[in-house]
Amino acid sequence: MDVLKALESCGGAARRPALARLGVDDAALRRAVRAGVLQPDRGLYALPTASPDLVAVLRNRALLTCSSAATAHGLWSLPSDGRRHVYHRRQEAVLGGSVHHAGLLLPPARFQPVAALADVLIHALRCLSFAESLVMVESAVSRGDMTAGFLRQRLPGRRNGKARAVLNWVDSGADSLLETLARTYFRQAGISVQAQVYLERVGYVDLLLDGWLVVELDGRHHAEWKQVQKDHRRNNESALQGHTVLRYYYPDVVYRPEAMVQQVLSVLSRGR
């Protein structure tokens, strides 16, 4: 494989063994360096556009895990505090400012410095907040790449009680992290919730609470006028069928969930 394509498939930077597995030999690497490929460290090669974080992890011979590996595994994730979460066989070798995670169950990714999906999720369950770890796990479960049972079996004992408690709320069928969080917050408040319910002449609604209150969730930052019109027509048709509609956005669900739940409880208390 061409060096540039090999580096792109590795995320922009890689060590020589990973490139060799992709069919890149030493002669090709020497030519690539002369042509502009960077060599930040011995045996380490990078495109000029490579992420500095990726280069730093490779240079330190660490693996990305927990929230720092969410993007690599295509998992939903919430905004983080910016700290890098890594696995390294020697904790003292972890760079300052990074969060160290110990223990791996499975071999890491072949071509990127990223822990296996199961290890990423176990580290997240032990490390992150309820909401952060829930959305990561549920995104993997919803697409069929993981089961809550598999993770639960590998989180025994009292010290993993917090992690197992998150797994109790993992479900499937949500289309987004907003649905996962809103559904969970409503259920924790004792509300009956159905996700992705089909209503005639309306289509699928995100959540149906107590059989009559529709909750629609919108992650867009800037709505297009045509979509706004479509949403309003759906709301009108829902009302004609006897449903009340509430609509919430990313900041409501992620940053102000208590206020959202209180509003919903207030509407439900008035009756249909």
The 10s digit of each residue's pLDDT in 13-26 is 999 999 999 999 99
Query: What pLDDT, on the 0 to 100 scale, is given for residue 161?
Result: 96
Q: Is residue 127 part of a domain?
A: yes
List b or e across 202-241, with b for residues whose CB sees 16 or more CB atoms inside 10 angstroms: beebbbbbeeebbbbbbeeeeeeeeeeeeeeebbebbeee
CB 7, CB 14: distance < 8 Å: yes
* Structure-model confidence comparison of residues 232 and 217, the more confident one: 217
Query: What pLDDT, on the 0 to 100 scale, is given for residue 229?
Result: 61
Q: Is residue 68 part of a domain?
A: yes
- The residue whose two tokens read 């002369």 is 34
pLDDT(221) > 90: no
Domain extent, residue 211, equals: 177-269
Q: Is residue 185 part of a domain?
A: yes
Mean pLDDT for the stretch of residues 145-168? 96
Q: Which helix (H) or strand (E) holds 246?
A: strand 244-249
CB 262, CB 256: distance < 8 Å: no
Q: Are residues 69 and 145 in the same domain?
A: yes
Q: Are residues 88 and 40 in the same domain?
A: no
Q: Are residues 139 and 120 in the same domain?
A: yes
pLDDT(216) > 90: yes
The number of distinct structural domains making up the chain is 3
Q: Are residues 48 and 68 in the same domain?
A: no
Rounded distance between C-alpha atoms, residue 259 and residue 215, angstroms: 14
Percentage of the chain surpassing pLDDT 70? 91
Query: What pLDDT, on the 0 to 100 scale, is given for residue 62?
Result: 93
CB 46, CB 12: distance < 8 Å: yes
pLDDT(1) > 60: yes
Mean pLDDT for the stretch of residues 206-217? 94
Residue 156 dihedral angles phi and psi, to the nearest 5°: -85, 170
Mean pLDDT of the chain: 90
Query: What pLDDT, on the 0 to 100 scale, is given for residue 110?
Result: 87
Q: Are residues 74 and 161 in the same domain?
A: yes
User: Could you tell me the pTM of the whole model?
Assistant: 0.87
Confidence of residue 46 (pLDDT cuts 50, 70, 90): very high
Q: Which of 167, 193, 214 is the last residue of a domain?
A: 167
Q: Which of 126, 141, 167 is the last residue of a domain?
A: 167
pLDDT(150) > 80: yes
Q: Is residue 195 part of a domain?
A: yes
Rounded distance between C-alpha atoms, residue 200 and residue 109, angstroms: 45
Query: What pLDDT, on the 0 to 100 scale, is given for residue 118?
Result: 98
Query: What pLDDT, on the 0 to 100 scale, is given for residue 242?
Result: 60
Mean pLDDT for the stretch of residues 96-113? 90
Alpha-helical (H) ranges within the chain are 3-9, 16-21, 26-34, 52-59, 117-127, 130-142, 148-153, 161-167, 177-188, 225-240, 250-255, 257-269
Q: Are residues 228 and 139 in the same domain?
A: no
Residue 75 CB neighbours (<10 A): 23
Closest of 25, 27, 61, 21 to residue 44, by C-alpha:
61
Query: What pLDDT, on the 0 to 100 scale, is given for residue 185?
Result: 98
Query: CATH code at 250?
Result: 3.40.960.10
Query: What pLDDT, on the 0 to 100 scale, is given for residue 227?
Result: 63
Q: Are residues 156 and 181 in the same domain?
A: no
pLDDT(240) > 60: no
Query: What pLDDT, on the 0 to 100 scale, is given for residue 94?
Result: 79
CA neighbours within 13 Å on the CB side: how many for 238?
27
Confidence of residue 197 (pLDDT cuts 50, 70, 90): confident
Mean pLDDT for the stretch of residues 72-87? 94
CB 234, CB 215: distance < 8 Å: no
